Amino acid sequence: MSYYSQILTVIIINSILAVSLNLVSGYTGQLSLGHATFMGLGAYAATLFALKLQSPFLVSIILGAAVAAFFGFVIGVPTLRLKGDYLAIATLGFGEITKNILLNLKITGGPMGLRGIPKVTNVYVAAAALVLVIFSLNRIINSRVGKSFIAIREDELAAESMGINTTRFKILAFVIGAFYAGLAGGLYAFLFRYINPKDFGFMRSIEILCMVVLGGMGNTYGAVFGAAIITILPEFLRSVSPVVAQYRMVLYGLLLVVMMIVKPQGIISESSLSNKKREKSLEKGGL
Amino acid sequence: MELLEGNNLSMVFGGLSALNSVDIKINKGEVLSIIGPNGAGKTTLFNLLTGIYSPTKGEICFRKKEIKNLKPYEITKLGIARTFQNIRLFKEMSVLDNVIIGQHCRTKAGVFGAMFKTPSVRREEALVREKVMDVLKFVDLDDVYMEKAKNLPYGKQRRLEMARALATDPELILLDEPAAGMNHQETNELIKLIEKLNNTGKTVLLIEHDMKLVMDISRRIMVLDYGKKIADGPPDEVKNDEKVIKAYLGDDFRRETREIKKVKEAKEVKKAKEAYVC
């Protein structure tokens, strides 16, 4: 696999992560700082299914995503009763717990991680996954379910008073987000052929959040755009000078600060979806 | 027939008693107003009826069903909808989407239905669209349905809140100060709208400070003061109640009504005189 197609594949996997976090944080308004946890759970589960049970690639990554979704439910039930900062801290805590469990279990290889994963993911597989993810997410966002997510973000009390079981729908958003993140994790494992708990730590969660904030909260294509920039940036910096590349986290921080000042809604904001598009979808029988 | 009955309702926040043994009864099809000074417990009472708080003491029955321990969304599904004192629209959503949310509790489409757009989901969505446009026509907002809620002028935002509540197909609709901040003309339009609403068979419970509106449309008025009910009866009776005048309406109001009466009498005398002269 050439260097460029490798980078493109990573961009696509990161896009899936960003798009899935965008569902939770951008559309539903629940700030999660533990999104990489679900990616890790998906990656580990998919790998274990493939290595221990010899299940085929497709089955493995889907089962991996399902495991991540299950843990999304388990983590979502207690934490989504919290709001704002408290939720962010709780998700962060769960992320650290999961990382430490992965570090200490025998079956996950402890700090050594898991190796010897077959290389199956390539640009085409990843692209197909991204297309499916975006297609299904768009359908969800434009449905009764997606509108309820946005209503919860806009005003939770009003949403509940209008008949939305807010806890249930927040958990639902979390579970769907975890499923897609787990899928991305599976693709990641089958691309790099080696996984380690440190790949799915707090820094990774922050990186995914950066993609979403940079691209535009509440806009799927913005999230893809953000993922592309954040993935290409360190590669570009490395080509300039390896010293600069070392300071890429500083640059992320700076980028976020500048973004918040100049264009807090992100590069592609939610409202850039035009009325015309919506009217067209109404004519076609959408909601 | 009683639609809703609250008995002995008390609500205590820490050491502060916001409501103290209040009874409320709402008959089917009527317009009941709750008035009283600020901090009297009117909005607290609303929050009890809609499940945002659970009463410290007392019972609430809606259509003979105990609802005091139900969550707000369960109560909405049973047929009680509300608006808020300070507008709480989904600001970034379009007018249309705001009202579509109102239909949430009457529809069923789930994640998989949404992903695969099954025929039943398509049918449901078509019904929702029809229903929502009807509601928007009812409150006269159908021409701005693509507008974002936050971009509407104040009076229209108030109407949109009512539309959203109406979209839940409620039997009882609770309006929390619907005329607050409205000018004279907007208030008059609102009065007409509430009357229209009542004529379609909806029962209305409202909190309001605008006495013209209250006296115009209420069949019954309930007065709260310091968390206690001090009066409950038809407008004419409440208007002249000594306790109510002291606590809320003030002597000015009595004087005003007396002056209006005088002017009216004077006009009648004049008319009679004119008639006599002719």
Rounded to an integer, the average pLDDT of B137-158 is: 92
Q: Which residues of A touch B (CB under 8 A)?
A: 136, 139-140, 142-148, 150-151, 154-155, 157-166, 172, 176, 270-271, 275, 278-279, 282, 285-287
Out of B88, B100, B124, the one facing A157 most closely (by C-beta) is: B88
ipTM: 0.87
Q: CA B116: distance to chain centroid?
A: 39
User: Residue A270 — very low, low, confident or very high, per pLDDT cuts 50/70/90?
Assistant: low
CB contact under 8 A, A154 and B97: no
**Beta carbon pairs, A and B, within 8 Å:** 112
Q: Which amino acid is at B8?
A: N
Residues of B in contact with A142 (CB under 8 A): 114
pLDDT tens column, B18-44: 999 999 999 999 999 999 988 899 999
- Residue B278 is predicted with a pLDDT of 56
- In terms of residues, how long is chain A? 287
For chain A, percent of residues with pLDDT exceeding 90: 61
CA distances to A163, B11, B79, B104, B133 from B169, rounded to whole Å, are: 11, 29, 7, 11, 14
Question: For chain A, which residues make up each domain, given as ranges?
Answer: 3-283
pLDDT surpasses 80 at A269: no
Out of B104, B117, B146, the one facing A164 most closely (by C-beta) is: B104
CB contact under 8 A, B88 and A158: yes
What token pair was written down for B108? 């069923």
Tell me which chain A residue has its CA closest to the CA of residue B88: A158
Tell me which chain A residue has its CA closest to the CA of residue B150: A154
- Residue B90 is predicted with a pLDDT of 94
User: Residue B181 — very low, low, confident or very high, per pLDDT cuts 50/70/90?
Assistant: confident
pLDDT surpasses 80 at A87: yes
- Residue B239 is predicted with a pLDDT of 87
Burial of B52 (0-12, 13-18, 19+ CB in 10 A): middle
Out of B72, B113, B128, the one facing A161 most closely (by C-beta) is: B72
Given CATH 2.60.120.560, say whether it is the number of domain B1-79+170-250. Answer: no
Q: What is the pTM of this model?
A: 0.89
pLDDT tens column, A50-73: 999 999 999 999 999 999 999 999
Burial of B28 (0-12, 13-18, 19+ CB in 10 A): middle
- Residue A227 is predicted with a pLDDT of 93
pLDDT tens column, B94-133: 999 999 999 999 998 889 988 998 999 999 999 999 999 9
- Residue A280 is predicted with a pLDDT of 67
User: Residue A286 — very low, low, confident or very high, per pLDDT cuts 50/70/90?
Assistant: low
β-strands B220-225, B31-35 pairing: parallel
Tell me which chain A residue has its CA closest to the CA of residue B77: A163
User: Residue A1 — very low, low, confident or very high, per pLDDT cuts 50/70/90?
Assistant: low
Out of B90, B115, B124, the one facing A151 most closely (by C-beta) is: B90
- Chain A interface test: which of B104, B147, B173 (most A C-beta within 10 Å): B104
Given CATH 1.10.3430, say whether it is the number of domain A3-283. Answer: no
pLDDT tens column, B232-259: 999 999 888 888 888 887 777 766 666 6
pLDDT tens column, B70-97: 999 999 999 999 999 999 999 999 999 9
Rounded to an integer, the average pLDDT of B1-17 is: 90
